[in-house]
Structure 1
C-alpha cells in the first residue's frame, strides 16, 4: 500500500509533470492539504465531519435508503487506510428507522482550483453507490459542515463535481466509473458527464483525479484523461466553479443504484489517501515569444493562430472583439488554432488578443491587434463536423428555413457511436439552451418565432449522450434567406451547371446576360468572384477533390449550387 513519503510524492509529481502537460491545462504541483490516514481508529476530526442529518422529509436524496452515522463501525482508519462501510442493520436515528447504515464524510477544507487525487478501492456490487465528489461551500443543505456559516445557494446553483461514481449507470457494464457536472444550466440533470471502464475497482486500487482550473475541469483515472468540462460560455448558470468547493466521501444504498440483493451484509470503500494540490509558489515570469495571426475566415467564424512560451507550461489566450470575449488555452510552445465562431457575415472585426499564464502574468507585447472580415454566408443547409465543444466522429447535418416570421432549425447527428442522444438548441447572445424536439432517430428540430426578416441569428446545437456531449459550431443565418434545405426552385431548375461531379471544366448555362458568381470552399472561404455572361466556363482542374459552393446572383434572384470536384 502506498503511503505519504516525501520520495513517493516527489516521484508521483515528476510523473505528473511529464504526463500532465498533454492532458490538463494547468499542472498543480504543491501539496496543500491531505489525509494519509496514518492513525488507526476514528477519522481525524480536524479533517472530516460526519454528515448525519436526514434531509427534510425523512429520506436521503435519489430514493436512497440508508442512515449515515458517525459510528466507528461505519467509518474508521485501519492499517493506513480509511474504511467507509455500508451495512445491513436496523438503525433508528432522528426518529426514523432504516435497515442500512453507512457514512458520509465532509472535508473541513474547501478550496478553489487545484488537483484532487484519491487512491481507493470501491465496492462494485449491485445496490451500492460509492462516490467521491465535491459541493460548493455555499450550498444551503441543512446538516452540511459549511451550511450554517456559508449556505446561501440551493443545489444545483452551488455546483457539484462528481469525481467518481459507480453503480448508477444501468446501461454500462460493471466497473464502469463516471464523472459528472451538475449546474443550473442542466437543471441539475446528469447531462455533462464522462466515464471510463476500469479494471475491478473493488479488488484494485485506482487513483481518481480531478484537475480544476479557471478554464476547465478534467477528470482522470490513473492519470489518464477521459472527460473534460469546458463550456464555451462561462456564467453563473454554466460555471458556478469560481467559488470554493469541499470534498465528500460516501456510499449510498439503493435508489439510483438499484435493488440491493437479499443476501447483502456489508461492503467497504477503502481509501489510501486524499490529496489536494495547488500552485503556491509565486510565478513572476511572463509569457514570451507571443505571436498571433489570422488563419481561415468563413461567414460565421475567424481562425486565430496563436503561440507563446511560458515556464508554467500553459498559456491562456483572451480575444476581445466588439462586445465579445473568448478565452482558450494551450501548452507552452504549442501552436493553437482558436476559432472565434458565431460572428456576423460580411462584417469587419478587430481582435485584441492577449497571452497570460495561470498566475496572470501578461506577455510583454500584449495585446496583438488583428483585423479580419467575415465572408458572406451562402448556405442554409449542409453537413459539417466542426465542434465548439467535444468532438464529432462523423459530423452532423443542419438546415435553417424561414416560415413567415418563424425560423425552423433542424439538426441531425451523424455519429453512429453515440447512444441516448438528446439535443439542445443554443442561442449565442444572450446565452440560452432549449431542448429540441426529436423527429426520428437522431434528427431534432426547433422553431423560433417572431424573427425579423433581414436580421442575422446565431445558433449551435448541443448533443448530449451517454458518456459526454458534443456541441456544433455556431451557425449564422440571415432570416428570410430562401436557400434553406437545398430545395431547388423553378428558376434553379432552368439554370444549368454540368458536369457534376466535375473533373476539369464546369459549364454554366444561365438565364441572364449579367450574372455575379462566387465560388467558395466548404468552410465558406471565397476562392474567386466574377461577372459573367449566360454561357461561361469555370476551370476547376487546379482545385482539390471535395465539395464547393457556387453562388449565382442575377435578375432572377440568388441561387446556390453544390459542386462536387473529383
Structure 2
C-alpha cells in the first residue's frame, strides 16, 4: 500500500487532531516515537523486542496454546507493513512442544501520557486473539523486555491498557472490538471497558487509538471516542496509570479466545504504522483571562463555570473546598462546567479555584474564591403499606425531591420476605412504566426531568420479586414543593364499582369515565377480554371456569386492579 507523504501525514494529523479535540481532554501534538515499517525483512530490533519466554513455566496466561517465537515467519516487514503471523505448526522451545506459533512484540520505548495511533487490519478466524495494548514498564513478568531492570510490580498493580482486542467476546458481533483497563480494583473480566463495531475488520484498515492524560483515558476508533475511563477517585487501586507504559502487539491462539477452527492454517495482523504523540515543546506561558463564576445551585449541587486561555490548548482547573480537592481538564477558551455534588442542603460553601497548564504555569489571578449556598431541601417523604395490586407485609418508604426542574423519586421496599426484587416506576396518567435504578438493598431511584414547578405529578412503584409482585398506591407530588399525598384515584372505593364478587353469571361494572379500557386475565396470565367500554358495562361470566381472575381498569383516574372470584 502506498505510504503517505510527509505533507499528507501532516494534513491527516491536522484533520484528526481537530476531530479529536472536541472529544478528548488533552490534545497531544508532537510525534515522539514511531515505526512506519518501511524496511523489508526482520522487524527493527532498535524499536522492538520479541518476547518468547514462557512466563508460567510451561505456558502463557489465559490458557493460550501458542509459542511466541523470534522466527521471521511469525513477524516480519514487507511492502510497508508489519505482519504478525499466527500459524498451525508443531514447535518446540524451552523443552515444551506446542502446535501453534505466533509473535509477541514489546516496544523498547516507554512513555507516560500521550496518544497512540496504530493503523492495522485484524484477523477474524475462530480462536484467534489479536491485541494492541500496553503494560506498566514496572511489571515483573518473566521474559518481558523491561522486567529485568524495572520489574518491581505484580499484574494488575502495574496497570494494563488494552487499546484493541478482538475474538474474546463471544456474545458480540464478529466486527466488535473493545478497549479495557485492568487495575487492582477491577481486572480479568474488568468492568472498565467499552466497545464498538468496526466495519469489515478482516479486509479494512482502521486506526486504533488511546488518548492517555493525567485525568482520563479515552479509546478511539478512526478518531472517534467510544469509551472514556475517568474514576472519581484516582489512587493505586483505580489509577496505576501515573507511570510509564510500553506497547505490545501480538496474536494469541485459543484460551480465552475459544476453540480454534480445526481447518485453521495461518492468519496475520497487518500493521501499517505505530505512532506515539506527546507535547514536548517547552512552555513558559501561563494561562490568561481566567474567570470563574457560580452557575446553577440545588439543594445538593453547585455548578462552577470556569474559563481560561492557554497557548498549549489545554487548561487544568483545581477546585478545593473543605478537605477535598478535585482536578479537571478543560479546553483553552471554552467554558468548563464543573458540578460539585453530594453537598448538604441550606449550607454555605467556599470554593477555591485555580487555573494552570500541563507544565505547571499558573494564572496570575489564582485562586478565585467563589461562595455559594445550597438551597433548602425541597422534598416530601413518608411510609405506607397501601397497595393497588398484591400486598405488602411491612410496606415501603417513598421520597419525592425537587432538583431544579428535575424530580428525584425514591422508593424503598421494607418487606424482608421478598427476594430478587426489581422496581418499576409507574406514571399514573397517561400510564407508563420504566425500570428504576437500584441504590442499595431494596432501595430504588429514578429521576424524571423537565418538570414544571407548581405542576402535580403522580407516581407509584411496582416491586417485582420471586413468586409475585406488589404495586404501591399512587402518590401525588407538587413539583418545587414539600407536599405529596395519596393520589385521589387511590382513595376511591373501586371495590364498590365491580359487583357482585364472587360472581356466578353477570359481573356489573360502574366506572367513572365514558371510555375505560378493561382487561380480564386468568391466574395463568391468559387474556380473556380486552376492550374499551362505557361507564356502565356488564360482563357475562356464565361460561367461565370456576377460579380466580384479574380485572384491570385504565381510565383518566389511573389504573385499578380487582381480583374476581368466579363461583
TM-score w.r.t. the length of structure 1 is: 0.70
The alpha-carbon deviation at position 4 of structure 1 amounts to: 6.0
Match of 2:12 in 1: 12
Gaps of 5+ in 1: 387-393, 404-409, 415-440, 449-458, 462-471, 474-497, 503-545, 553-558
Distance 1:413 1:180, change over 3 A: farther
What does the per-residue CA deviation read over 1:295-353, in whole Å, with 9 as the maximum and x for residues that have no partner? 12223221111122222222221100011011222222222221011223333211000
CA contact (8 A) 1:348 1:372 kept: yes
Moved more, 239-248 or 353-362: 353-362
1:358-389 CA distance string (max 9 Å, x none) = 22222221111001122344547668999xxx
Q: How has the CA–CA distance of structure 1 residues 184 and 366 changed in structure 2, closer, same or farther, with 3 Å as cutoff?
A: same
Q: Is 2:437 the counterpart of 1:446?
A: no
- Mapped to 1, the partners of 2:348 and 2:177 lie a distance apart of 48
**Residue matched to 2:338:** 338
Over 3 Å counting, the alpha-carbon distance change for 1:292 and 1:382 in structure 2 is farther
* Matches for 1:416-431 after TM superposition, within 5 Å: none
Asked if residue 58 in structure 1 is aligned to residue 58 in structure 2, the reply is yes
Shift in alpha-carbon separation, 1:372–1:55, aligned structure 2, 3 A:
same
The answer to whether the Cα contact below 8 Å between 1:116 and 1:274 also exists between their aligned partners in 2 is yes
Are the aligned partners of 1:4 and 1:36 in contact in 2 as well (CA < 8 Å)? no
Within 1, Cα distance between the matches of 2:329 and 2:40? 44
User: C-alpha separation between the residues in 2 aligned to 1:73 and 1:241?
Assistant: 35
Paired residue secondary structure (1:24): coil
Question: What residue number does 2:118 align with?
Answer: 118
**Local SS of the residue matching 2:185:** helix
| Cα-to-partner distance string for 1:159-207 (whole Å, 9 max, x where unaligned) | 1111111111112111111111111111443211111111111211111
Greater shift in the superposed pair: 38-47 or 15-24: 15-24
Task: Say whether the 8 Å CA contact 1:253–1:260 is kept in structure 2.
Answer: yes
> Are 1:287 and 2:287 an aligned pair?
yes
Quickly say closer, same or farther: Cα 1:385–1:71, change in 2 above 3 A. farther
Change beyond 3 A, Cα 1:184–1:400: farther
How many angstroms apart in 2 are the aligned matches of 1:190 and 1:324? 28
In 2, the alpha carbon distance for the partners of 1:243 and 1:305 equals 31
Change (3 A) 1:323 1:412: farther
Give the total of aligned pairs.
433
Distance 1:499 1:181, change over 3 A: closer
SS of the equivalent of 2:24 reads coil
- What are the Cα deviations for residues 25-65 of structure 1, in whole angstroms up to 9, with x where unaligned? 11111111111112111111111111111122522111111
Q: What 5-or-longer segments of structure 2 have no aligned partner?
A: 382-397, 416-420, 426-434, 448-453, 459-476, 489-567
- Please give the residue correspondences for 1:162-311 in structure 2 after superposition, counting only pairs within 5 Å: 162-311=162-311
CA distance in 2, matches of 1:104, 1:272: 17
- Residue deviations 1:193-239 (CA, integer Å, cap 9, x gap): 11111111121111111111111111111111111111111111111
Question: How big is the alpha-carbon RMSD for the aligned residues of Structure 1 and Structure 2?
Answer: 3.4
1:2–1:136 CA distance, 2 compared to 1 (3 A)? farther
**Cα distance change on mapping 1:396 and 1:176 into 2, 3 Å:** farther
Give the aligned partner of residue 423 of structure 1: none
Q: State the distance in 1 between where 2:60 and 2:158 align.
A: 19
CA distance in 1 between partners of 2:422 and 2:298 (Å): 20
Which residue matches 1:371?
371
Distance (whole Å) between structure 2 residues aligned to residue 395 and residue 118 of structure 1: 46
Equivalent residue runs for 1:447-526 within 5 Å? 500=456
Q: Distance in 2 between matches of 1:55 and 1:289?
A: 54
Change (3 A) 1:499 1:133: closer
**8 Å contact from structure 1 (residues 326, 340) kept in 2:** no
Greater relative contact order, per chain length (Cα 8 Å cut-off, separation 6+): 1
Identify which range, 267-276 or 284-293, moves more after superposition.
284-293
Matched, 1:136 2:136: yes
Q: Is the 8 A contact 1:287 1:356 kept in 2?
A: yes
Supply the distance in 1 between the matched residues of 2:250 and 2:478 (Cα, whole angstroms).
Answer: 54
Q: In structure 2, what is the Cα distance between the partners aligned to 1:242 and 1:323?
A: 23
Change (3 A) 1:37 1:244: same
